[in-house]
Each structure stands twice: as structure tokens, then as C-alpha cells.
Chain A
Amino acid sequence: MGVQQYNHSSNLPVFHSSILPIFQPSNESDNAMSSYIPNTDADRAAMLAAVGVKSIDELFRVVPAAHRFPALNLPPPLSEPEALRELDRLQAMNAGLHDRCCFLGAGAYRHFIPAVVDFVISRAEFYTAYTPYQPEVSQGTLQAHFEYQSMMAALTGMEVAVVSHYDGGTALAEAVLMAAHAGREPRRQALISPTVHPQYREVARTYLEGTDVEIIGDELPHDRMLALGEMLDPDTACVVVQNPDFLGRLYTPAEMQALADRAHAVGALFIVSAYPISLGLLAPPGSYGADIAVGEGQPLGNPLSFGGPYLGYFTTRMEHVRRSPGRLVGQTADVDGKRGLVITLSTREQHIRREKATSNICSNQALNALAAAAYLAALGKNGLRRVAELCYHKAHYAAELIGKLPGYEVLPGPFFNEFAVRCPRPVAETNTALLARGIVGGYDLGADYPALAGHMLFCVTELNTREDIEALATALGEIGQ
């Protein structure tokens, strides 16, 4: 499990009573042996000898003296009610979405979260359970993970899903890494579409730094994604696309299948990043040739919450399961023939395969994945389709209104629930004016796509009411004059 576990409050004393003394001058640390750190004085002496220094002081001498024990200049301690009051004051400075309407998406999406999701994930059995290495005491958590995997595989049209990755960007980076090692001979080139989320591309580049794999293709113009098909060669590990793409545009299953076929013809994998809500309505990646389908799972039952913690979903075909990164729960039978669930194929993972593992992922955003599973279970197939339809129709209504405004132009082409609009005034200025009217505007595309300077990416979900949408159009009309 992710962040929640490591921040668990019972860990806090570690920081107070044992970590800090190590950084104190050594004459004090001798007396500050902690009940949390098992190193004895003899252990420490042996370690110091091994690295060739005489004391802990000497070990830290490389840190400039001024930075060794900097004055932290902290305010005096507060009582609990005082601390709460201070936190309330700070919290009130946030611009929340409960009293504003929001048309910002670009990778993080605001959807309605039924109360049952929080109810399920707040149960102590789920909230505190860590990696279920012991199946005999972890059937509940394992079943939740298994259900999550089953639903994600069904949603994406793929054959197998691992429990989860950190977020959409890391899932995509792991997919590229896996593709590079899918065959016996590693391949060195990953073709990534210019309209894959810019941050995902950055994460992938960071992951691949220091490896032989090079990312190319995203230097293509934003409207020439399908030209990736002409860049394939025998050293291409994968073709990575996003559908709907970062600009909200949809590619048809036939266009996607054609690109998949070209990738497969040179032995490369076809990787699709998809907005999971859109799959309630649109053809899933598995139906048009995807070998790996990944994406950001946050829209499924997880709040925006300042950008995290989120979860990445990762699904693939059975033929690649042994190369797939991340935790996997499987179904089996116990000695009495009863259904049982266990973490399976662990030999792929780094804690067993060590340096030969293709991924460092040994964990899972378990609570976030559970939220996604509870969300999908609560909505069901028809409910998810209904949410997707609402997003689609409301977004198209918004685009229609904005397209009629003088000075505004909606980028042509089919889209799901996001669309790019050329604005008559600079995007930052437009957004400031919208915010003053209680409206969170769209994403400024100019920084990532210089050719789209002056363009704003709007997102509409089922939570945007007709009144919200009409208020946005009215405001844009006034601002554009």
C-alpha cells in the first residue's frame, strides 16, 4: 500500500526519539540509544570502521557546518485546540471545489464519488492492512484486489490486470520498460505520441534515464500522431498512444487497430493509455490491438485531493503476464478444495528476482485501488456507461455554446469530454477572470504545445450542471469582448 501506510501516526515516535539522536554530536548519541533502532554501539563502531571514519561527527563532516544543525526557527509548541485552529485557518486559504464550478481536467478528473466508496475503504480491516503476504489471514484484502483486477480487465478488454501502480504516469513508464524487455533481445526505441499526457512522457523519460532505451516520436506536431506508423523499425519496442488523447480527441478503433497492426508487424507492442471513465462508453483498448493498457485510475472513486495519492492501472495480455510489473493476486483452491486467493507469480518481482527483475515495483496503491473497485462495483456496467454518456453529452453542449461565441474557436474533430478552444485573450488572463466569477477554467496548452499557445483545454464531467456550463459560456463571452 502506498502513502497512507508510511504516514501512519504510530510511526511518528521514530522520528522524535531515534532518528534525530543519530544526527546529534556523537557524545550525546552514545546515551541516546533508541528502542526503535536495533544497532548497538558496537554495530555502529563496525559500520564507521567499514567506511573508514572514526566518529559520526566525521561521517557528516562533508555537510557544510552551517547546514549541519541549522536553526529551524520554529514557532513555539501549540496545544491541540490551538493546533486545530491554526490548521483550520490554513485550510480556509484553499480554493475548494464545493463552492466553485470546475472545467479543469488534463489528467485529474472530478467525478461524483458515492458514499459507499468511503464507507468501504474506511473499514479498519482495509485501512490498516499492508501487503497480504500471509494469505491465511488476508483473504478479505486479497479478494478486494482480485475483484479490482477482474473489473479493470473487463473495463479495458484485456486479459490480466495487476493490482496497481503509483499513478498513470508511472504505469505508462513501466509499460514502456516492459515492452523494451518483452522479447529475448532488448529493444532500444520507444515511439510515444505527442498527445500522450506531457507529464507521463516526462515520467517515462525519467524512468528510462540511464538505460539504453530512447523515447522518440513526441516531437511530431500534435495533429500528426498517426505518423508514428512511419517511424517504426526493428528496434522499436513499442508504440504508445493515448485515447482519448491529451487534447481530448478520439481516434477510431479502426485507426488504432491499423497502428497496432503496424507495430505488431515489426514485433513491437502497442500500448494505450486510456481515461477509464471513457471506457464505459467507448471501445476498450483490448478490442483494437493493445498489448498493454494503462492509465490514471483516480477518476474511479478517488478525489482530486491536490494531485494524490492516485493509482495507475496496468493491464495486459496473458502472454505477457510473466513480464508484467506489479503485484498480482490469483485464485486457487486450498487443501480442502475451497476457493482461496494468494499473491501469485511473485517471482517476477524484485524482492525475489533481485537485479534481474525488470521493475522496481513491489507495492501497490492498495487503498486507492480498493476505492476504484468499490466505485466500479457501486456503479455497475450500466451506471458507468451513464456517467460516461453524461460526460460526453455535457461536454458537447459546452463546446457548442463556446463555439458560437465571437473570438472563440473549438478545435475540430471527435472528442470525449475534453476539447481545446482558441481564446481571444491570453489563457492566463481568461482564467483569472473566470476565477473571479467563481469558475475554475481550463488547462493552458501553450506551455506543452507551443503551436497551441492561446488554447485552453476544457473538461466537462457529470458534475457540471447545465447552469454551470451556461455560466461558463456567458463568462467567456464577457471576457472575450
Chain B
Amino acid sequence: MAFTVQSDRKYAASHEWARPEGDLIVVGISDYAQHELGDVVYVDLPDPGEHFGQNEVFGASESVKAVADLNMPAGGEVVEINNALVDHPETVNADPYGEGWMIKIRPDNPADLDELMDADAYQQFINEL
């Protein structure tokens, strides 16, 4: 089965994506991740103002039969969360790269993203899973 990978962003091995937007980074999970989880029923997000290091757990997404941690693709402060996911967690399944975004962070060090995979590398990565 083919999963969408978008080339305007970077990917973590734990299947989060990170897309720079001005000074900020928008974070969500990949099409592959939403498919593996199945129907997402709840997304547990941090409060704006919280700070996490790179790869630290900032929340969790729950599907009907699994719970997956959400990891920071870059260290930084959470400046905005996608409140729409509280009432409509299924948006993560329907539009993982768009309306299903989870948090926006102000990175401590934008170069953290250099450690992530680009679209081609991530495509290769999930092909081999």
C-alpha cells in the first residue's frame, strides 16, 4: 500500500513530520502513521508555553486499539496547539498533513531539523518497514 509523503517537510523515524512556517515549526504525524494507528479517537496535546527537548514526548494519540507517543522533532516551546482535534480527532486520519496538524513550536535550534529525513529518505524508510 502506498502512503503519501509530502516534500515540503522533514520526517522523524517515529513518524512525526515537521514543516517550517516562518520562525515556527508545525508538527503532525505522517500518512503512514495515521494508517498504522487506525481511527484516531483522542489526541492528548500539551499546553501552549510548555517546553520540550528534541525527541521528548509532548503528547499521545489514541486510536481505537493503540496509543502512540508523540515526539518532538525539534526542541522548543509549544506556542500553539490544534484545538480542533479535541472535538474532531478523526481529522488526523482524514488530513494528516493539513488540518490534522498538532502543535506549532518555536525551536531552540532550527538546525535540529537537519537530523530528520527528507521526503525521499522517509519514503525509502517506510518502504522497508
Contact = CB atoms under 8 A, between A and B. Distances in A.
B84 interface: no
Contacts of A184: 46-47, 50
B27 interface: no
Given A184-B50, A347-B62, A356 B44 contact: no
B42 A356 contact: no
B50 A356 contact: no
Interface string B44-65: 1011001000000000101111
Interface in B66-90: 66-67, 69
A356 B67 CA distance: 9
A352 B67 contact: yes
Interface in A344-402: 347, 352-353, 356
Nearest to B44: A322
Nearest to B60: A356
Given A184-B50, A347-B62, A353 B42 contact: no
B105 interface: no
A187 B40 CA distance: 30
A184 B44 CA distance: 11
Contacts of B60: 356
A347 B50 contact: no
A352 B44 CA distance: 16
A169 to B, nearest CB: 29
A315 B66 CA distance: 25
B102 interface: no
Interface residues on A, range: under 10
A22 to B, nearest CB: 34
B12 interface: no
* B41, B44, B62, B64 interface centre (most CB from chain A within 10 Å): B62
B73 to A, nearest CB: 20
A352 B65 contact: yes
Interface string B11-44: 0000000000000000000000000000001101
A110 B78 CA distance: 55
A347 B46 contact: no
A322 B69 CA distance: 15
Contacts of B50: 184
A264 B44 CA distance: 23
Contacts of B42: 322, 347
Contacts of A352: 65-67
A353 B46 contact: no
A352 B46 CA distance: 21
Contacts of B41: 347
A353 B66 CA distance: 7
Contacts of A353: 67
A184 B50 CA distance: 10
Interface in A426-481: none
Contacts of B67: 347, 352-353, 356
A429 B117 CA distance: 79
Contacts of B65: 347, 352
A362 to B, nearest CB: 15
A415 to B, nearest CB: 44
B46 to A, nearest CB: 7
The 6 tightest CB contacts between A and B, nearest first, are A347-B62, A347-B67, A353-B67, A352-B67, A352-B65, A352-B66
20 contacts: A184-B46, A184-B47, A184-B50, A322-B42, A322-B44, A347-B41, A347-B42, A347-B62, A347-B63, A347-B64, A347-B65, A347-B66, A347-B67, A352-B65, A352-B66, A352-B67, A353-B67, A356-B60, A356-B67, A356-B69
Given A347-B42, A347-B62, 9 more contacts: A184-B46, A184-B47, A322-B42, A322-B44, A347-B64, A352-B65, A352-B67, A353-B67, A356-B67
